[in-house]
Amino acid sequence: MAGIPPAPSPGVVAKKPARRCAEVCLELLCAESVRLFHAKQSGPAAAAALEAVGYRVGQQLAERYTRDKPRLGDTLEIIKFVCKDFWQALFKKQVDNLKTNHRGVYVLQDNGFRWLQRLSPPAPGSDPGREEAARQLALSYLHLPCGIVRGALCHLGVICTVEADPKQMPSCTFTIRIMA
Amino acid sequence: MGIACVAFIGPQNNPMYLRSIDPASDDLYMKLHYVIHCALDAVEEKVLLKRGPGDSQDAYLGLLYPTEDYKVYGYLTNTHVKVLLLLDDEGAVKDEAVMRVFRRLHGLYVDTASNPFHKFGLPLSSPRFDAAVDGVVSIYRGAGASQGGFMT
């Protein structure tokens, strides 16, 4: 730090120590936002609103997390960035499996998706109705992360749609379809 | 002397921020706009030329082109935001120092974009951002140009 001039001009803010926040706060915020949006609007409207919130957050996070990276070249590199660095920063782990058909569809599989770990899965062998209900509930919590991923990808130049499918909680697959 | 103008250009080549560091007349602003506009072609050219299989590219593009009055330097972020600097240095310009200025400006942009009231694609109009840009520019003028830079 020896090179910093002794009297910084007023515009330059001194570096603050990094502030920390308990992770449970984020989990509660995500859960509560889903509840709130579903209480205010119903069905598709709430999903779209959550997706829009996520989209915006994704844009900002992409801006921040790519700051110190060398330039990302093609689509695959951008997807790989999202699977590795972005996932790590957001969900504390990397994507477990990435599949592609080389025609614009990428399937990201996460075997322990962080934001689903607080939902209790239906008991094994319970009737299909319950399982379907649990799936629908999990889906409502996935609109926000889908929006975040889509926001990040679109902001990096990959125009796409993102769909999530919770098969067996807490594992989850995200399907990215690139718009031609 | 040093930085004459700082410009941020959005992904669709939409101007987001253009500022002459010294107070400028309308005519001079037109000229700056013109120089910046021409530089956008140079940015595209650089990006296409540099593309090789498997080589990672730096955000810093280096000297784009010199005009009579200015040297135009460019920087391209991962989110396709172009940062352009117009330098009116007579002598040699140290790449290191210019790169540091770009890094700082990029950091400023990221911080500004993280503001919940910021709208992507619209011009940056924040007095705090203006002041911070001034700060970066004055550090370059004070130390960067003569001694080869400041630490980031």
**Dihedral, CA atoms, A74, A79, A84, A90, nearest 10 degrees?**
130
Nearest residue in chain B measured CA to CA from A58: B114
Domain boundaries, chain B: 3-139
Q: Which domains does chain A have, with CATH numbers?
A: 26-178 (3.30.1380.20)
Nearest residue in chain B measured CA to CA from A55: B120
Residue of B79, B101, B141, B147 best to disrupt the A interface, most CBs of A under 10 A? B79
The predicted-structure confidence for B87-116, as pLDDT tens digits, reads as follows 886 777 788 888 889 999 999 999 999 988
Q: Do A3 and B139 touch (CB under 8 A)?
A: no
Top CATH class of B3-139 equals alpha beta
Q: Do B134 and A11 touch (CB under 8 A)?
A: yes
Any residues with CB less than 8 A from the CB of B52 and at least 6 apart, and which? none
Q: Do B139 and A12 touch (CB under 8 A)?
A: yes
Q: Do A71 and B57 touch (CB under 8 A)?
A: yes
pTM as predicted? 0.83
Residues of B with CB under 8 A from a CB of A: 11, 51, 56-59, 76-80, 106-107, 109-110, 113-114, 120, 128, 131-136, 138-139, 142-143, 149-151
Q: Classify strands B71-76 and B60-66 as parallel, antiparallel or unpaired.
A: antiparallel
Tens digit of each residue's pLDDT, chain A (180 residues): 344 444 444 445 566 778 888 888 989 999 999 999 999 887 788 999 999 999 999 999 999 999 888 888 788 989 999 999 999 999 889 999 999 998 889 999 999 888 888 888 777 777 888 888 888 889 999 999 999 999 999 999 999 999 999 888 788 999 999 987
A:B CB pairs within 8 Å: 74
Residues of chain B in contact with residue A60, where contact means CB-CB under 8 angstroms, are 113-114
Between helix A143-155 and helix A44-65 the angle, nearest 10°, is 40
Nearest residue in chain A measured CA to CA from B10: A155
